[in-house]
Amino acid sequence: MVQRTWWTVLGALAALRVAPPLLVLAAEGRDLPGFPRFDLVEGTGDDAGFYAAAREFMASTARVRPLPAALIAVILVGAAAAGIRLRRRKRVLPWLVVGTATSVALAVTVVVREMEPSGAAVFGWSLLWAALMLPYRALGLPLDYEIAFAFAFPLALSANIAALVATAYAGFYATGRRAVGLTAAAALAFWPLLSAVVAGASAWENGTWLVDTGLALYTEPLSTALVTVALALVLRPGRTDVQLALAGVLLSYATFVKLTNGLALALAVVLVAGFLGLRRALPLVAGSLSFVPALAAYWPIGYVQGEDGPNLLPQEPFAVDYAVRSWTDSLLFSPRTLMILLPFAIVGVAVMRRGFALWLLLAFTLANAALYSFYQPTYLHPRFLFASLPAFFVLLARGGLAVVERAQPR
């Protein structure tokens, strides 16, 4: 009965999470009261670079020379055969997860080395987008941005649903209370509806709302989903080595999607090693290295494209002077927003039991916030902090419930 109620509530929250972007998409090109306007136009922001990178990857598959292509096939077939043969050996399973992910990453690396710069600073989101479109392109069918949108938008919605479900489990695992998990998931589900109420009209500026809901086809929905699922796996009581290895793989790919997720990955490794022991950290570390070859291969055509190519970083990307403006002038996480939300999260930290779960939630909440405080364009791009929201909402939910419980008569 409890499990059925849990999934019923999560299903309702998932529907609520995807309803606003679906309504806005249905009204595409027209103003819908209570929501920002959306126009399905190519090249309105960084999504143009991600789309170009996806197309370039698909085109580059044909440039791979026969010998590397044969090597890719051998690696992938070997990984599949090993998986089938060894799937029931529990001690081998963590390394099978890591080996499979590494095999895929090496195959991707071979193709990435054939790519030309496309304008996308990072590639993980474009890779998944391209993988969905490859069968379509293999049939020789024409591709434009509207067709590509039809492939990517459901993926973004699915990522937002995955992040919501993972948030619920992270809250449940961290506190042992289903109410905390469902409250945290509800906060994530209602956020697109309440962000403008909490932060004011600026919450919709610079495409922030469209990025959050998945309409703008940026990296954030996938990045947040990967980080949050990994968080839930590491928080899970009785976590196995397979789950830790999978969490490492997810965080590794999350870093391929967005480089700064590597900070959350590093903190997770430190905390797992410190609280659970070095041996338990080994599968997590192994998984975290799986997509490093692909990330290294893309770096020269990503942020920094050599002496003759453009540098996609700001001229002075980091400085202490940016810290004040990053919060006082933020379009979304302004002092008004923080005054409304932070007190509940602080109460949540105060009432939670000191230990691994609390430190992991704090790490996943504060890692991005600490780094991006000193990044030049953070105040214009609140999306940089979206990956921190699920962990933050867990703390907020725990604090909110504590306040409600304290206010009730005994």
**Residue 375: strand pairing partners:** 318
Identify the H or E element spanning 11: helix 2-26
The answer to whether 284 and 324 are in contact (CB under 8 A) is: no
**Eight-class DSSP state of 57:** H
Q: Closest by alpha carbon to 382, among 191, 230, 122?
A: 191
Least confident of 87-96, 186-195, 262-271, 343-352: 87-96
pLDDT for the residue numbered 310: 55
Per-residue pLDDT at 22 exceeds 60: yes
- DSSP secondary structure of 291-353: THHHHHHHGGGTTB-TTTSPB-S-SS-B-TTHHHHHHHT-SSS-HHHHHHHHHHHHHHHHHSP
Per-residue pLDDT at 162 exceeds 90: yes
Q: What residues does each domain of the chain span?
A: 2-28+45-305+316-407
Crossing angle of helices 178-199 and 145-175, rounded to 10°: 130
**Eight-class DSSP state of 310:** P
Q: Closest by alpha carbon to 55, among 131, 124, 155, 121?
A: 131
Is the backbone of residue 31 left (phi > 0), alpha (psi -120 to 50) or beta?
beta
Fill in the amino acid letter for 186.
A
Per-residue tokens: 353 = 């039991």
Sign of the alpha-carbon dihedral angle for 180, 184, 186, 190: positive
**Strand, helix or coil for residue 56:** helix
pLDDT digits (tens, 9 = 90+) for 91-125: 778 888 898 899 899 989 999 999 999 889 999 99
Per-residue pLDDT at 305 exceeds 60: no
Is the backbone of residue 140 left (phi > 0), alpha (psi -120 to 50) or beta?
left
Per-residue pLDDT at 232 exceeds 90: yes
| Number of residues in the chain | 410
Straight-line distance from the first to the last Cα atom of the chain, in angstroms, rounded to the nearest whole number: 28
Helices (H) and strands (E) in the chain, counts: 17, 0
What is the distance between the alpha carbons of residues 274 and 358, in angstroms, rounded to a whole number?
A: 14
pLDDT for the residue numbered 170: 98
Q: Closest by alpha carbon to 221, among 262, 158, 160?
A: 160
